Structure 1
Amino acid sequence: MTPTPSPIAGFEDWPAALRQLGRHEGHNTASASLAQALGVPAPIPAPPVTVRRAQVFDGVELQELEWQLPYGPLTKGYLLTPAGTKGPLPGVLWLHCHAGNKWLGAERLIDAGAETSADVDALQRNLYSGHAVANDLARAGFAVLVHDSFSWGSRRFLLNPPPERVAEGLDARRALWHQEGVQPTPSMEYNAAAALHEHTIAKTAGLLGTSYAGMVAFEDLVALDVLRTLPCVEKERVGVGGFSGGGGRALVLSALAPQVCAAVVCCMMTTFEGLAPSHLDAHSWLLATPGLSRLFDWPELTAVNTACRYLVQYAGEDPLFTPQGMHDADAVLGALAHDAPGRYTGSWYDAGHVVTVDMLQDALTFLADSLSN
């Protein structure tokens, strides 16, 4: 009998690791409730970091890093700093989006010159106005860390051969490609399989007492600690940010980590009521943790870490959110920050689900102001 492909190939050590890790206890009552709802594993000491290579490109020093988590393959990350800079800099952990693209991880946020792949170039053109956000942040004077999180890039699950249900869906996708005369690339094949496999990951996480969003949050917390331990970073001046799924990750991370002073949430703000039912399928499991909405509405997560300043960027033509959901969230956020001027800034843009040049410039200005001495 042919062995059945593992539904968690590459992460067979995940269940045993979770039994050893325990649970995140939070830094206050609200963060404890959030950590429990997401099933976030307990923090671990920042793992040793290996520098694989370094280069200077267009005014930015780029280092490729690796570290090992208690389960799964090595995590790849990139540290970007202004070339020739000495002394500690304010740090930024910028979190990559979901984008239905798990073939790529954090590399979508960097410009590595001639080494930049066609897949990265296409994604940057389609979603980031042609910009490499991490490079722009570094040129603005920050020490920037970007990393592959759970199920992306170097942290991908192995889906060749795919589990049975994923294989069935992938066969249907291949038949449609054939009918359309499309020759799929390896990244297209993987992303099609990964979209189906995310449901399997979420089910597995639930059985293990965590959640898909909880595992991503755990790995983001580790990356934040890695950033804060780097000698080039002033660990008391650290911000986080991201676009789309990365913006949602930044919001959750800021709530779980009191060390975060500033957070940019780009194109990822709504009330939960604004999602159901018509917009549920537009989003991943990162925004659909069972039971979370009984404890918090999405904008209410900004009230967990009261020391953090927030820039929330809304795209008025964003098809992934209802206008009502975004406006209601803006009103909630304004009310929560009513007694703390400057703690919340809501900015609106005439755009779809993309990072515009104006959004990026506003994020740079906000982070420079929020992380200044």
Structure 2
Amino acid sequence: MTSLPSPIAGYEDWPDAIRRMGRLEAHSKASAQLIDALGVPGPAPETRVQSGPETVVDEVRIRQLSWQLPYGPPTQAYLLTPEGRPGNPGKPGKLPGVLWLHCHGGNKWLGAERLIDAGLGNSPEVRALQQDLYSGQAIANELAKAGFAVLVHDSFTWGSRRFNLDEPSGRVAEGMAARRALWRAEGIHPTEAMEYNAAAALHENVVAKTAGLLGTSYAGVVAFEDLVALKLLTTFPEVDSARIAVGGFSGGGGRALVLSALAPEVRAAVVSCMMTTFEGLFPAHMDSHSWLLATPGLGRTFNWPDLAGINPGCHYLMQYARQDHLFTHTGMHDADTKLRRDAPGRYTGTWHDGGHAVSAEMLRESVDFLSTSLMR
């Protein structure tokens, strides 16, 4: 009898690891409700960080890091600090810490490297993604230049945390056969990254189903891994653990919102192009989004803007793009109105011309917001 390909290849240890875990400890009634809705595992395990090579690019020191979670391949990450500023070796001061979370972008071949400028080390895929979604900017480098210690890491299913889809199972294989036929008809010769991203888009359904069966969710597992990274950020000698922020664009912004709700130590959060009411997604916009925004049952307890009310010590910058094709204007406007009413003094909502991307203006605004929130 021929054995079927594993739908979780590279993560065969994932189910047992999740079964051994409990639930994340809540810091309030509302956070407990969010933890239950997402099925966030916890607590974060003691995790040893392995340091790799360092390089300096345009006065930013970039240190490669990695750590091993209880399941799957090692996580690759980068810590960026301003060269020659407090927080570097031999300097007594500490820097405010920012955990910046990479977007979904329909690109799971790449992880956190989309956020950095590694000089000549940047691949064509990284440069293209930065040009399309970040206005050619390396977000993490710019934040480090502004005086922050910035940690970026590959999340569950991205980059170093990819599943092995060399032998895709069932429906993923069928979908890839159709995709390759279309590429041939169009005269396209797909790269390895294109092949993987097409397969990963189909495979996300498998991941979400598996997570649900294990009593968690896709968003819950991602939140668990983000919590581990946040905990590690606070332990680095360069970082002032009393001044911590999170942020991200698109799916990274959604992750930042969830993380800020779960972690009371987060003092500030930037959410770029990822704020709407759930009502604003129906009916036409649900298919445009990842399972990260569609955890079954979440809408029974929370609307998306409600998450900003769970951590009363966190200040928020929400950035909206007027021509964002992934959200309705009504959904974004209603969320903005609700947040202005429900989080006075802690919420700043700004509107920008353009589509679903981070403009240079939005990045400058984010830097100013974080400086005001963490450097006072």
The TM-score with structure 1 as length reference comes to 0.98
1:72 maps to what in 2? Answer: 72
- Number of the residue aligned with 1:222: 228
Asked if the contact 1:39/1:214 (under 8 Å) is kept, the reply is yes
Q: Distance in 2 between matches of 1:113 and 1:359?
A: 23
Tell me if structure 2 keeps the 8 A contact 1:96–1:245. yes
- What's the secondary structure of 1:144's corresponding residue? strand
Deviates more, 1:205-214 or 1:43-52: 43-52
SS at 1:71's partner residue?
coil
Which of 42-51 and 114-123 deviates more? 42-51
The alignment status of 1:356 with 2:359, answered yes or no, reads yes
Given that residues 198 and 285 in structure 1 are in contact (C-alpha distance below 8 angstroms), is that contact kept between their aligned partners in structure 2?
yes
Give the residue type in structure 2 aligned to 1:357.
A
Q: Offset at 1:2?
A: 3.1
1:145 maps onto 2:151 in alignment = yes
Partner of 1:194: 200
Which residue does 2:88 correspond to in 1? none
State the shift of 1:44 in Å. 2.0
Q: Matched residue pairs, number?
A: 370
Q: Deviations over 1:154-211 (max 9, x none)?
A: 0000000111210000010000000000000000000000000000000000000000
Q: 1:46 to 1:94 in 2, by over 3 A?
A: farther
Q: Which segments of structure 1 move beyond 2 Å, counting only runs of 4 or more?
A: none
CA drift at 1:226? 0.7
Identity level (%): 66
Residue identity matched to 2:61 = E
What's the offset of the Cα at 1:46? Answer: 4.1
Q: Distance in 1 between matches of 2:204 and 2:46?
A: 27
Give the aligned partner of residue 350 of structure 2. Answer: 347
Equivalent residue number for residue 27 of structure 1: 27
8 Å contact from structure 1 (residues 90, 233) kept in 2: yes
Residues 77 and 145 in structure 1, CA contact (< 8 A), matched pair in contact too: yes
1:46–1:225 contact (8 Å) kept in structure 2: no
Q: Which residue of 2 aligns with 1:117?
A: 123
Matched, 1:278 2:280: no
Cα distance in 1, alignment partners of residues 48 and 218 from structure 2: 25
Report the counterpart of residue 210 of structure 1 in structure 2.
Answer: 216
> Which amino acid in structure 2 is aligned with residue 127 of structure 1?
L
In structure 2, how many angstroms separate the alpha carbons of the residues matched to 1:285 and 1:371?
A: 32
Given that 1:43 and 1:221 are in contact with CA atoms closer than 8 Å, whether structure 2 keeps it comes out as no
Unaligned runs of 5+ in 2: 86-90
Choose the corresponding residue for 2:169, options 163, 173, 184. Answer: 163
**Take 2:208 and 2:45, find their aligned partners in 1: how far apart are those partners?**
26
Instruction: Give the Å deviation of 1:3.
Output: 2.1
Report the Cα distance in structure 2 between the residues aligned to 1:54 and 1:101, rounded to whole angstroms.
26
Q: Which amino acid aligns with 1:61?
A: R
Instruction: Confirm or deny: 8 A CA contact 1:127 1:354 kept in the other structure.
Output: yes
Contact 2:77–2:153 (8 Å) recurs in 1: yes
SS, match of residue 199 in structure 2: helix
Say if 1:294 and 1:269 are closer, same or farther in 2 by CA, change over 3 A.
Answer: same
> Match of 1:28, as an amino acid?
S
Partner SS, residue 229 of structure 1: coil
Q: What per-residue deviation string (whole Å, max 9, x for no partner) do you get for residues 38-91 of structure 1?
A: 000012244110111111111100000000100000000000000122321000
SS in 1 for 2:281: coil
Instruction: From the superposition, tell whether residues 134 and 46 of structure 1 become closer, same or farther in structure 2 (CA, over 3 Å).
Output: farther
Counterpart for residue 136 of structure 2: 130
Measured in 1, the distance between the counterparts of 2:278 and 2:337 equals 14
User: Structure 1 CA distance, aligned partners of 2:53 and 2:309?
Assistant: 40
For 1:111 and 1:46, locate their aligned partners in 2 and report how far apart those are by CA, in whole Å. Answer: 30
Tell me the CA shift for residue 26 of structure 1.
1.1
Q: Deviations over 1:10-58 (max 9, x none)?
A: 1110111111111113110000100110000012244110111111111
Please tell me whether residue 182 in structure 1 is matched to residue 182 in structure 2.
Answer: no
Matches of residues 234-249 of structure 1 in structure 2 within 5 Å? 234-249=240-255
| Structure 2 residue 369 is matched with structure 1 residue 371 | no
TM-align CA RMSD: 0.7
Of residues 240-249 and 81-90 in structure 1, the stretch that sits farther from structure 2 once superposed is 81-90
Is residue 319–residue 352 contact of structure 1 (8 Å, CA) maintained in 2?
A: yes
Q: What amino acid sits opposite 1:288 in the alignment?
A: A
Show the counterpart of 1:107: 113
Q: Distance in 2 between matches of 1:36 and 1:96?
A: 25
8 Å CA contact retained: 1:46, 1:226:
no
Q: In structure 2, what is the Cα distance between the partners aligned to 1:277 and 1:289?
A: 16
- Aligned 8 A contact 1:52 1:65 in 2: yes
Matched residue SS, 1:73: coil
Counterpart CA distance in 2 for 1:78 and 1:165 is: 35
Deviation by residue 1:106-133 (Cα, 9 ceiling, x = unmatched)? 0000000111000000000000000000
Encode CA deviations 1:290-329: one digit per residue, 9 max, x unaligned.
0101101000100000000000000000000000000000
Residue type of the partner of 1:193?
A
Aligned to 1:83: 83
Aligned residues of 2:44 and 2:224 also touching (Cα < 8 A): no
CA distance in 1, matches of 2:169, 2:31: 36
